[in-house]
Homo-oligomer: A and B are copies of this chain.
């Protein structure tokens, strides 16, 4: 049967002051009325039933996620510490096979904005079918709409059938010139949407990823704490996909955004004719290309451009949109009494 694994961890700094460690971006209604985590589960409707959606998250977020996502309690896999995507997906895939020896797994993240849910399901369905038919780990590649330097790229290889190709190579976070070259060469964004049979995935990890596979005995003895102590944090891309020869890529025909910075709201939210995004009460006058988020008090912008203006959680942030990618440096420069938002 088909299972979904929703990776719902995240530290909650990119959308400061709206996002916090207690309410990271996947719990926020960044792209629409509901949180991206809710939308991620909703988007699976008709493809994978809720009772087979597993969620991996840290202890801090679990109560909120349980309430929000309305999934069976036993479907929440709580990481005792963050250890990147490799150990998380190994655990979740192992757990899926424990419950269902013939499990197929679709792996996705809780913080995505997806333009077309039906197209997403068609692609996911094709990826799962490819994983079974060709017995490969399948990545979904998104046709790039800009030379984004914050994403990983997949260079497709030879066709496997009408929808799938092999992977020639991966290119992680290229510089701007390389990103343009990759786009021109037909490379795809590595979205993080993956499909595999549990059996093939566990076999590939056993063969290629000692950082994780060596901790299998702890999992098998039910010692999750011990498993997380024993693994070496490593991403699924570096630890498994880039090492395995049994990889394929299916092209996703839907708009996809990981909503990584405040600037992303201009891509995933409706804009006024001057290119402004306004969420919450307020008005934008004689201004263009601004992103405004007001959680309560109305915000008035007049005669400005290319600004992010946010009022949330008792903080106000004003910065140029092009600074949004450098949020970590900004937070490092803030005194703790301003930066740290109490729950």
Q: Are B318 and A302 neighbours in the complex by a CB distance under 8 Å?
A: yes
Partner of A307, one of B304, B311, B316, B335: B304
Q: Are B316 and A302 neighbours in the complex by a CB distance under 8 Å?
A: no
- The interface residues of chain B lying within 8 Å CB-to-CB of A333 are 285, 302
- A299 an interface residue at 8 Å Cβ cutoff? yes
Of A303, A314, A333, most B-chain CB atoms within 10 Å: A303
Known: A298-B315, A311-B297, A315-B298. A320 touches B338 (CB 8 A): no
Partner of A314, one of B285, B297, B315, B338: B297
- A282 an interface residue at 8 Å Cβ cutoff? yes
Contact with B along A279-320 (1 / 0, CB 8 A): 001110100000000101111111110010101001111111
Q: Are A318 and B299 neighbours in the complex by a CB distance under 8 Å?
A: yes
- A122 an interface residue at 8 Å Cβ cutoff? no
- A334 an interface residue at 8 Å Cβ cutoff? yes
- A330 an interface residue at 8 Å Cβ cutoff? yes
- A323 an interface residue at 8 Å Cβ cutoff? yes
Nearest to A313 among chain B residues (CB) is B297
Partner of A303, one of B296, B323, B334: B323
- The interface residues of chain B lying within 8 Å CB-to-CB of A314 are 296-298
- The interface residues of chain B lying within 8 Å CB-to-CB of A330 are 285, 300, 302
Known: A297-B311, A300-B315. A281 touches B320 (CB 8 A): no
- The interface residues of chain B lying within 8 Å CB-to-CB of A299 are 315-316, 318
- The interface residues of chain B lying within 8 Å CB-to-CB of A309 are 316, 318
Q: Are A338 and B300 neighbours in the complex by a CB distance under 8 Å?
A: yes
Q: Are A319 and B335 neighbours in the complex by a CB distance under 8 Å?
A: no
Q: Are A319 and B338 neighbours in the complex by a CB distance under 8 Å?
A: no
Q: Are B338 and A318 neighbours in the complex by a CB distance under 8 Å?
A: no
16 A-B residue pairs with Cβ-Cβ distance under 8 Å, sorted by A, are A281-B338, A283-B335, A283-B338, A285-B330, A294-B316, A297-B311, A300-B315, A300-B317, A300-B318, A300-B319, A301-B319, A302-B317, A302-B319, A304-B320, A309-B316, A316-B316
Given A300-B330, A318-B318, 18 further pairs, Cβ under 8 A = A17-B300, A281-B338, A282-B338, A285-B330, A285-B333, A296-B314, A298-B338, A299-B316, A300-B317, A300-B318, A300-B319, A302-B323, A302-B333, A303-B323, A304-B320, A309-B318, A311-B311, A316-B316
Question: Residues of A at under 8 Å CB distance from B?
Answer: 17, 281-283, 285, 294, 296-304, 307, 309, 311, 314-320, 323, 330, 333-335, 338
